[in-house]
Structure 1
Amino acid sequence: MSDIIFTLGELFCGPGGLAWGAMNADVPGMKIIHAWANDYDESTCQTYTHNICPDNPNSVYCEDVHILDLAKLGDIDALAFGFPCNDFSVVGEQLGFKGKFGPLYSYGINALNMYHPKWFLAENVGGIKSANEGTAFKRILADMTNAGYRLVPNLYRFEEYGIPQARHRMIIIGIRNDLPYEFKVPSPNGYEPMTCRSAIEIPPIPADAPNNEHTRQSPQVVERLKYIKPGQNAFTADLPPELRLNVKGAKISQIYKRLDPNKPSYTITGSGGGGTHVYHWSENRALTNRERARLQTFPDDFVFEGSKEEVRKQIGMAVPARGAKIIFEAVLKTFARIPYDSVDASIKE
């Protein structure tokens, strides 16, 4: 008996965290394969192509979604879109629909209305629920519902699923109304917590691993890190006056923050300036991009293209690859009618 295959299209595909999870989802008799993808950033598209579809580079459309001709992409069984989160993040101004990026989700809605895939996965930051006093999230859910889908939105805390990073993301699964399947949120029960030390050190990163070059640290940064203990940052550590930061009104907890080796990492972001690289728990340095990629659960043979700074941004913007795999497997089990341990969604429509 041949596998049931779902062809997957992606908007705002990023470097391929969702795609890796989809392609590696392991459910007997079910498979997800790449159909097409879109992103506007050239190095990001190169990374995606290299790792997800090296034999089909023309299936990756490196174009601004504002001018992308959706009609040329082709029919799909499933859609994934991690629409840009900048305007919904609690770290930023949370402009929501008033910002440059907030309205971009509508292109995913357009794709749903054009291709009517059997199911979709949409992803954004947890802060989306409170943007625009909560009206943005309600509007997004309403538009998805009106496109013809039953929705299960849930705030996933990936560290509860054995991911070595405290990363909280809103993920919405939609199944087309005419299909008799009911998605349930996979339970985190049974997943062992993973520390950042275990993720980075076990097994050791190979000497020839890609994207593993060290960042050059200034003498002042090295000296500052000497005073910062695991889990501390530049504001909670006992720094001498000459090494303190003169930052008024903003004491972001991740500035020069060392990892606690006995816990999952704090959230990996795409930034890197001003002491936000993510810092080793004992060595006086920032993590390498490969170490950051391990905290995002990308395998060591996943090669990121572009400059070191471009790669850092790609890794920080991605969905944890193995976290995505868990959710895609739950979708496939839903369609295969294979029971799995589940929980009630923590976010109601």
Structure 2
Amino acid sequence: MVKIQERGRGKFKPAPDYDLDQVKGVLLEKIEEEMQLTIDEPNTYDFEELHYKANKANIVSLFCGAGGLDLGVELAGIDCILGADTVSDAFKDKEAFNSIRGEGLFHHVYSNDFFKEALETYQKNFPSEVFTHNKDIKKVKQFPKGDIVLGGFPCPGFSEAGPRLVDDPRNFLYIHFIRCLMQVKPKFFIAENVKGMLTLGKGEVFRQIVQDFSAAGYRVYHKLVNSRDYGVPQLRERVFLVGVREDIDFEYTFPNPTHGESPLLKPYVTLKEAIGDLEEDPGDFFEGSYSTIFMSRNRKKNWNEQSFTIQASGRQAPIHPGGIPMEKVDKDKWIFPDGDHNNRRLSVKEITRIQTFPDWYEFSDGGNEKMSKNGRLDKIYKQIGNAVPVQLGRAIARPIAQWLYQNAYKEEKAMEKVSLHEHGQNGVQTIK
């Protein structure tokens, strides 16, 4: 796509073809512009407000949203200590999970997002000692130190669903992720984005992104994965970039699928398994008519399948699997044979499950009573739809957690035992 200097709905026009040299020139120009846009202003937080733990891998989270990736990484870190089955059982209950959160390898220090309600959600579900920063990342002058940087940088400009502009300014927020890496120099980073970033500009955009991350001093591993292959009841393809600092002797390998049609794998998780028990009590859901665009294709899976991708919009939420399947009656036209009134969008409780957040996870709608119910609900749909499915984040982070456990955590525990012996203490020591 190219941008035409016109106002109105027709300003985005498809380019007949891409000249890769021209695309690269545009990218380099936009990267330089993005760096110049950074406002050099004092930090709005004091580094002394940050809480670090010397015996943990400290996390800095950018574009943290509601915390799906952060929670998945945290789970991976507890798995190494207590075992995945034990953690999964505790995860079902907020009180039980909070009782084991301190046992893991990871510790969240700083989380940033510009979406106020998403950050409020993060605050409701993560320990109060995490510093949450509601600020435009372009205006964060200095990022705090950390061992791991996480972030799903915003992706509308890469999406295959909308106009895909090579020079869309939303495509360049990843530069500030890289700026953080260059300041902080963490051991690892994990970044996530939509499938469309792979093909924008005939792949030149993605090649430039990988090159930029590599130039910050990291070996970059990338892969397109489908969340249903890791126990998520949803067809959701996303690109992950994992970086390992060049001086660290660790070769990251993406985890093999745990679920699939092979007899060697667990079966895919179905909608019936995930949300079947909510059929009589689904909770609130976005209400209203369905647009012509919405009805241009099938939006309804059956109980034995996985959900369509959960979008960051209540109006675009998939239809609940109950009742009669949708029927195609013409090109780009589907209907509900049993009528619109017998079909509803998936509820907030249901998409929370489909994105593998626990039932106890609390979402903020901003508390604006003057806003319509649909308006408040849409803020929650947006948070959930933008999130990395928790169990997918857990799987992607597990190889890093295992390496840290084998190479750092055990060494720390050994040093702790030596220190206890040398100081003659009787089994109790607090590491600050």
Fold similarity call, TM over 0.5: yes
In 2, Cα distance between the equivalents of 1:24 and 1:329?
9
In 2, Cα distance between the equivalents of 1:7 and 1:135?
33
- The equivalent position to 1:282 in structure 2, one of 304, 319, 322, is 322
In 2, Cα distance between the equivalents of 1:246 and 1:45?
34
- The equivalent position to 2:123 in structure 1, one of 43, 49, 64, is 49
Change (3 A) 1:36 1:130: same
What is the DSSP-based 3-state SS (H/G/I as helix, E as strand, rest coil) of the residue aligned with 2:353?
helix
Whether 2:153 is the aligned partner of 1:83: answer yes
The answer for the alignment partner of 2:270 in structure 1 is 195
Deviation at 1:215, TM superposition (A): 3.5
Which amino acid is the alignment partner of residue 385 of structure 2?
Answer: G
Which amino acid is the alignment partner of residue 268 of structure 1?
Answer: I
Which amino acid is the alignment partner of residue 286 of structure 2?
Answer: T
The answer for the alignment partner of 1:302 in structure 2 is 361
Q: 1:269-289 deviations in whole A, cap 9, x for unaligned?
A: 01233xx22111125211111
What is the DSSP-based 3-state SS (H/G/I as helix, E as strand, rest coil) of the residue aligned with 2:360?
coil
In 1, Cα distance between the equivalents of 2:62 and 2:110?
9
In the TM superposition, what are the counterparts of 1:226-245 in structure 2 within 5 Å?
none
Q: 1:237-282 deviations in whole A, cap 9, x for unaligned?
A: xxxxxxxx756xx97535xx22221111010001233xx2211112
Deviation at 1:4, TM superposition (A): 5.3
What is the DSSP-based 3-state SS (H/G/I as helix, E as strand, rest coil) of the residue aligned with 2:221?
strand
What is the DSSP-based 3-state SS (H/G/I as helix, E as strand, rest coil) of the residue aligned with 2:303?
coil
The answer for the alignment partner of 2:58 in structure 1 is 7
Change (3 A) 1:252 1:148: farther
Which amino acid is the alignment partner of residue 169 of structure 1?
Answer: R
In 2, Cα distance between the equivalents of 1:206 and 1:78?
42
- The equivalent position to 2:285 in structure 1, one of 196, 214, 217, is 214
Whether 2:185 is the aligned partner of 1:105: answer no
What is the DSSP-based 3-state SS (H/G/I as helix, E as strand, rest coil) of the residue aligned with 1:151?
strand
Report if aligned partners of 1:3, 1:31 keep a CA contact under 8 Å in 2.
no
Which amino acid is the alignment partner of residue 214 of structure 1?
Answer: F
In 2, Cα distance between the equivalents of 1:326 and 1:246?
38
The answer for the alignment partner of 1:166 in structure 2 is 235
The answer for the alignment partner of 2:302 in structure 1 is 260
Higher Rg: 2
What is the DSSP-based 3-state SS (H/G/I as helix, E as strand, rest coil) of the residue aligned with 1:141?
helix
Change (3 A) 1:184 1:279: same
Change (3 A) 1:82 1:266: same
The answer for the alignment partner of 2:81 in structure 1 is 28
Whose helix fraction is larger, Structure 1's or Structure 2's?
2
In 2, Cα distance between the equivalents of 1:181 and 1:24?
21
Q: 1:275-324 deviations in whole A, cap 9, x for unaligned?
A: x2211112521111110111100000001101211001111111001110
Q: 1:98-155 deviations in whole A, cap 9, x for unaligned?
A: 1121000000100000000000001101111111221111111111111111111011
In 2, Cα distance between the equivalents of 1:14 and 1:144?
22
Q: 1:16-58 deviations in whole A, cap 9, x for unaligned?
A: 00011112111139611111011101101100111123x236x
Unaligned runs of 5+ in 1: 222-244, 339-349
In 1, Cα distance between the equivalents of 2:320 and 2:221?
37
Change (3 A) 1:215 1:103: closer
What is the DSSP-based 3-state SS (H/G/I as helix, E as strand, rest coil) of the residue aligned with 2:123?
helix
Report if aligned partners of 2:145, 2:184 keep a CA contact under 8 Å in 1.
yes
In 1, Cα distance between the equivalents of 2:280 and 2:180?
41
Q: TM-score under structure 2 normalisation?
A: 0.65
In 2, Cα distance between the equivalents of 1:87 and 1:177?
30
Report if aligned partners of 1:183, 1:334 keep a CA contact under 8 Å in 2.
no
In 2, Cα distance between the equivalents of 1:294 and 1:196?
10
Which amino acid is the alignment partner of residue 322 of structure 2?
Answer: S
Change (3 A) 1:246 1:188: closer
Which amino acid is the alignment partner of residue 176 of structure 1?
Answer: R
In 2, Cα distance between the equivalents of 1:14 and 1:118?
23
In 2, Cα distance between the equivalents of 1:4 and 1:165?
36
Change (3 A) 1:76 1:89: same
Deviation at 1:206, TM superposition (A): 10
- Count, aligned residues: 297
Q: Percent identity at matched positions?
A: 30
What is the DSSP-based 3-state SS (H/G/I as helix, E as strand, rest coil) of the residue aligned with 1:200?
helix
Report if aligned partners of 2:285, 2:377 keep a CA contact under 8 Å in 1.
no
What is the DSSP-based 3-state SS (H/G/I as helix, E as strand, rest coil) of the residue aligned with 1:66?
helix
Which amino acid is the alignment partner of residue 213 of structure 1?
Answer: D
Change (3 A) 1:333 1:251: same
The answer for the alignment partner of 2:394 in structure 1 is 325
Report if aligned partners of 1:164, 1:196 keep a CA contact under 8 Å in 2.
yes
In 2, Cα distance between the equivalents of 1:4 and 1:201?
42
Whether 2:369 is the aligned partner of 1:316: answer no
